[in-house]
A and B are shown apart, each in its own frame.
Chain A
């Protein structure tokens, strides 16, 4: 396997996160459907969007945070790409709304990406290519979701809301430089949603080994082999996080220590943010990382595939990360909902 690396070195010029302020505790979902019986919820709580929020508004705030850190003229952005499985419209791009609001229009590419939870990192890979080829000076890649879980389904506990934006640009301006990336994709139906269906369906335990672990472990070990790295070379590692168990198990099997996962593991506090999950983990890592440190990020999207990115943090991180709210600032902001109010927020109550 050959590593993917553009001819021109590229990196992250700015990054930004967003998490809505509402939370639903796992114990509240359990009270609703299981009472005192049953297992411990897979995460402590999950983030829930406000009544006036969707993937467009949330992407916009993450994009603005990325721009605050990058401090570039937004009219120089040549691509605005939003990866999500919860775009507000079936037809009409989220990305044009974001591009218009940040001032990137009209001379920009804009498109919505779709690949379950991998849509955002797929957009990142493309952004690396755009900037790396010289077609663009800057490209903005986002992963953002307001994930829907069917009431009473196991995924209702974890289907959260949030995500991140990365402004990709020339390496010499970057706070973290991409040293290489890889992708590992197969046709595996572990999780899906048909057109016009409100809730996704999944293949239960099949989502684990043939889905998540096969792709995540392959992408992670292949990128390390190709670059001649071992787990100890990385200060931080971020895996797609549909729950707390999967990323920890993936880390253990690859030989990472638990501490290497800590900074980028947010799922226990905000739930699984789908296309945003690995990417917002990376923002949380960049909030604390030191110059010179290496970071590995591995996403996973059902259907199925994983993208892996090898990053080196540069001196530019200091001074730039303070320009916008940290990811933990958003995670700490918290207003708890009961199940009834959650049902209203997620439009599960039929009004007409």
Chain B
């Protein structure tokens, strides 16, 4: 049981919330409170757009404990449009040809499911962009 750890991270995981460095403007994910570029304190929350592209990927056939339900699944390094490189699962990709450079968007899905008695952990994954339409909304801030 890692309830406390998941609870601390859920804000970042549900909506891809990182930080922005007010000194040099770099966007940071995951949050680390210190800018990796200029070493200035960086504690201002920043919600990423969720748009990015596949930088690299691989398929997991032998999953670690807690992920058996989803195997085989694809993990990827996603380059967010704001800059950071994020490791995450790709989802909704069965039957899709995955390519480096493929545009993807963030969705919140089940990350792990600790059986019928435990809690469900939710967080970000990425899927191929639907319909090629871009998001114009301000609702996600």
The reply to whether the CB of A60 lies closer than 8 angstroms to some CB of chain B is yes
Quick check: B108 and A68 within 8 Å, CB to CB?
no
Write the nearest CB–CB distance from B113 to chain A, whole angstroms.
9
* Size category of the binding interface on chain B: 20 to 34
**Stretch with Cβ within 8 A of A (4 or more), from B21-29, B33-41, B131-139:** B131-139
B64 contacts which chain A residues (CB < 8 A)?
none
A68 lies within 8 A of B137 (CB): yes
Of the listed stretches B9-17, B52-60, B76-84, name the one at the interface; the rest are far from the partner chain: B9-17
A72 touches B122 (CB 8 A): no
Chain A: minimal CB distance from B63 (Å): 12
| A56 near B139: Cβ-Cβ < 8 Å | no
Number of A-B contacts (CB under 8 A): 89
Bound Cα distance from A68 to B110, whole angstroms: 23
A102 to B131, CA, bound (A): 23
Residues of A within 8 A of B11 (CB): 100
Q: Are B139 and A64 in contact (CB under 8 A)?
A: yes
Interface size class, chain A: 35 or more
Residues on B with C-beta less than 8 A from A53 are 109-110
* A14 interfacial by beta-carbon distance below 8 Å: yes
Q: Is B65 an interface residue (CB 8 A)?
A: no
Most buried by A among B89, B91, B95, B139: B139
Partner of B110, one of A52, A66, A72: A52
- Asked if A325 and B130 make an inter-chain contact with CB atoms under 8 angstroms apart, the answer reads yes
- A32 contacts chain B at the CB level, 8 A cutoff: no
Report if A44 contacts B (CB, 8 A).
no
Docked Cα-Cα span, A291 to B127, in Å, equals 34
Point out the residues of chain B lying under 8 angstroms from A101, CB to CB.
14-15, 108, 122
- For residue A16, give the distance in angstroms from its CB to the closest CB of chain B: 9
Residues of A within 8 A of B91 (CB): 50, 52
By Cβ-Cβ distance, the 10 closest A-B pairs, closest first, are A68-B137, A67-B139, A101-B14, A52-B109, A52-B110, A329-B131, A68-B139, A71-B138, A323-B137, A323-B136
- A-B CB contact pairs (8 Å), 24 listed: A56-B122, A57-B108, A57-B122, A64-B140, A67-B137, A67-B140, A68-B136, A68-B137, A68-B138, A71-B137, A73-B141, A74-B139, A88-B120, A89-B120, A97-B14, A100-B14, A101-B14, A101-B15, A101-B122, A103-B141, A323-B136, A323-B137, A329-B130, A330-B130
